[in-house]
């Protein structure tokens, strides 16, 4: 399965750890996503996170392409717990040591009341496995979040887990991974 990964665009409430917050896109965010897919495709299947910053664009694209949109709850962003809605600078002010532990190895430190990255990884990898089974041999566009894309790209690149947060994924980024029959990931075609 060819899996094109599209990160949502800029959101109304701006940067920081958005996680499970259901922010809307700004006009710039819509433009970022429209521009990203302008040269992309063709796709056989559209799949989206249920959060509106992904789903509303997926619905617009699906209507334009004449494709239904499959919602997949397990490709929503990592839940950052007590850190949701806060910027790194705000967290540094009160929890610098904890933030440093998270940045150094997100698998080894979970934000207070947050989702462990290992559980997040299992959730996302399970969703990709189901998609690969359902859509073997097809080209799938997955409209999702930065954390999901970082996780899949880090896996495709064979990076150690400590380097997860070093993977760069900007708003409106469109990147491709290929999912092998054995579930392995590789970047590109």
**pLDDT tens string 18-45:** 999 999 999 999 999 999 999 899 999 9
pLDDT, tens digit, 9 for 90 and up, residues 132-185: 999 999 999 999 999 999 999 999 999 999 999 999 999 999 999 999 989 999
- Helix 27-38 vs helix 52-65: angle between axes, to the nearest 10 degrees? 40
Cα separation of 161 and 122, whole Å? Answer: 13
Structural domain containing residue 7: 2-187
> For residue 96, what is the domain's CATH number?
3.40.50.1240
Structurally, the chain folds into a number of domains equal to 1
pLDDT at res. 63? 98
**Where does the pLDDT of residue 13 fall: very low under 50, low under 70, confident under 90, or very high at 90 and above?**
confident
Closest CA to 47 of 118, 120, 116, 124: 124
- 58 Rama sector, left if φ>0, alpha if ψ -120 to 50, beta otherwise: alpha
pLDDT at 15 over 80: no
Give the pTM: 0.96
């Amino acid at each position: 399965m060819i899996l094109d990964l599209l990160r949502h665009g800029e959101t109304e409430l701006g940067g920081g750890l958005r996680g499970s917050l259901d922010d809307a896109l700004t006009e710039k965010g819509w433009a970022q996503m429209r521009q990203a897919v302008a040269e992309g495709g063709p796709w056989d299947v559209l799949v989206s996170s249920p959060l509106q910053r992904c789903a509303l664009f997926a619905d617009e694209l699906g209507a334009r392409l004449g494709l239904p949109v499959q919602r997949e709850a397990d490709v929503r962003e990592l839940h950052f717990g007590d850190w949701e809605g806060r910027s790194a600078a705000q967290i540094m002010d009160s929890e610098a040591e904890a933030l440093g532990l998270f940045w150094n190895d997100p698998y080894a430190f979970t934000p207070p009341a947050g989702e462990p990255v290992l559980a997040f990884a299992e959730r996302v990898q399970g969703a990709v496995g189901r998609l690969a089974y359902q859509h073997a041999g097809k080209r799938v566009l997955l409209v999702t979040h930065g954390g999901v894309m970082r996780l899949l790209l880090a896996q495709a690149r064979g990076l150690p887990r400590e380097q997860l947060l070093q993977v760069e994924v900007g708003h409106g980024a469109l990147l491709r991974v290929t999912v092998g029959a054995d579930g392995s990931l590789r970047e590109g075609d």
